[in-house]
Amino acid sequence: MKKYIYISIFLFAAIAFATSCDNEWTEPKTIDVDQPEVGSDAYFANLRDYKQSDHQIAFGWFGGWTAAGPSMVTRLYSIPDSVDMIGLWGNMWHRDKMTPEKTDDLRLTREVKGMKILVTTLLGWTGKELPNIPEENWGTDRQEGLRKYAKALAEEIIDLGFDGLDIDYEPNVGGQTDVRDCPRGEDMIVFVQELGKYLGPKSNSGKLLVVDGELDALPEETGPYFDYAIAQAYSTTSSSNLQNRYNRISSIFKPEQFIVTEDFEAHWRTGGVNYTETNGNKVPSILGMAKWNPVQGVKGGCGTYHMEYEYRNTEMEYKYLRQAIQIMNPGVK
């Protein structure tokens, strides 16, 4: 079956949760005559096949998830179709914050579009993401408490229907409050190894374990437990910066595991900062990231922080992220 890379199409708000429809879409499509109609069952089947193919992935951290109100910006389903993986920013995924609308949005986005929806935690004290569990339940032994927390956190993520966990690991720069008691060294190894029983490549569960933040602060022993390593390469102006970031962790992660990201909370209007290519040409940094690959091989992909801000682009929702996807994975004709 031919695989296509599709520029994302959005449904009107009134049909946001339909899995297929024949109404007009808000964006014209350029297709081969044998390509299935956008929105058809065949279209979504091809889209899901594409997500399983070997390609550079598109990623984003998504904030403000409510799946409520008239605006599509609060819904995962509004994200461009060809985006592969999402990290939910904040605690809106916690069990006590889940609603029927969120549950439906999550299910449709995963099942229909084939997106992987992860929860993101800024790693800190034991039990941070499970506030309903009393602190004394973790016990007094540090590493045993970390094992209990890792198991409980993984089970909660799986039970709520998410595809895995993204650990924002910032033990040195995350702030004294948010990353209080963040595991380091042997403690981090213990925590990740326990998570790896339920999530990530060693678990055989199909669930993902991803890390971002201070990648070069990770114990090398944790590397085999992660599917991807995401660099917060914010305001990057050249390929040398990206290459240096990868070089520092190249003994832990393969090129195809390495994802680079730009800060769209700050730069969504312009697609990033001015990025100078090796030929002297200047482009928005997210497009420079899309074009770049480490000298060691093809990267894993690129993405944006607070991707939802770009929904407000008046030319086209998610304009720059769409362009980045097409650069990394030109449509097959």
DSSP per-residue codes, 191-234: HHHHHTTTSSTTTTSS-EEEEEE-GGGS-GGGGGG-SEEEEE-T
d(CA 110, CA 54): 19
Predicted confidence at residue 36, as pLDDT, reads 75
At 129, phi and psi to the nearest 5? -90, 0
In whole angstroms, what is the distance from residue 265 CA to residue 60 CA? 12
pLDDT(103) > 70: yes
Reported as type and span, the H/E element at residue 321 is: helix 319-328
d(CA 119, CA 35): 34
Closest CA to 194 of 218, 258, 186: 186
Q: Is the pLDDT at 261 greater than 90, yes or no?
A: yes
For 331, other C-beta atoms within 10 Å of its C-beta total 16
Q: Contact, 168 vs 120, CB < 8 A?
A: yes
Q: 52-69, pLDDT tens digit by residue?
A: 999 999 999 999 999 999
How confident is the model at residue 34, as a pLDDT? 53
Three-state SS string across 97-122, please? HCCHHHHHHHHHHHHHHCCEEEEEEE
pLDDT surpasses 80 at 19: no
Token pair for residue 280? 């002297």
Distance, CA of 195 to CA of 78 (rounded, Å): 31
pLDDT at 51 over 60: yes
The mean pLDDT value for 302-319 works out to 97
pLDDT in tens, 134-145: 999 999 999 999
Can you give the pLDDT at residue 114? 98
pLDDT band at 35 (very low <50, low <70, confident <90, very high): low
Instruction: Find out whether 25 and 12 touch, Cβ atoms under 8 Å.
Output: no
Mean pLDDT of the chain: 90
The whole-number average pLDDT for the span 7-11 is: 37
pLDDT at 10 over 60: no
Tokens of 15: 């049909």
Predicted TM-score (pTM) of this structure: 0.88
pLDDT value of residue 175: 82
**DSSP codes joined into one string, 10-31:** ---GGGTT-S---SPPSS----
Q: Which band of pLDDT confidence, cut at 50, 70 and 90, is reported for residue 177?
A: confident
Q: Are 233 and 241 in contact (CB under 8 A)?
A: yes
Please say if the pLDDT value at position 159 is more than 80.
yes
Q: How far apart are CA 157 and CA 262, in angstroms?
A: 26
Residue 11 pLDDT > 80: no
Q: Is the pLDDT of residue 33 over 80?
A: no
* pLDDT value of position 12: 34
pLDDT tier, 176 (very low <50, low <70, confident <90, very high otherwise): confident
Q: Which pLDDT score is estimated for 174?
A: 83
Q: By percentage, how much of the chain surpasses pLDDT 90?
A: 85
Ordered domains of the chain (ranges, CATH) = 57-328 (3.20.20.80)
- What confidence category does residue 122 fall into, taking pLDDT thresholds of 50, 70 and 90? very high
DSSP class of residue 56 equals P
DSSP assignment of 245-257, as one string? HHHTTTTTS-GGG
How many whole angstroms separate alpha carbon 109 and alpha carbon 115? 6
- Has residue 95 got a pLDDT over 70? yes
User: Could you give the CA distance from residue 223 to residue 211 in angstroms, rounded to a whole number?
Assistant: 10
Instruction: Identify the pLDDT of residue 38.
Output: 80
Q: In the beta sheet, which residues pair with residue 213?
A: 169
User: CA nearest 129: which of 88, 161, 84?
Assistant: 88
Is residue 205 within 8 A of residue 198, CB to CB? The reply is yes
Any idea which of 7-21, 53-67, 257-271 has the lowest mean pLDDT? 7-21
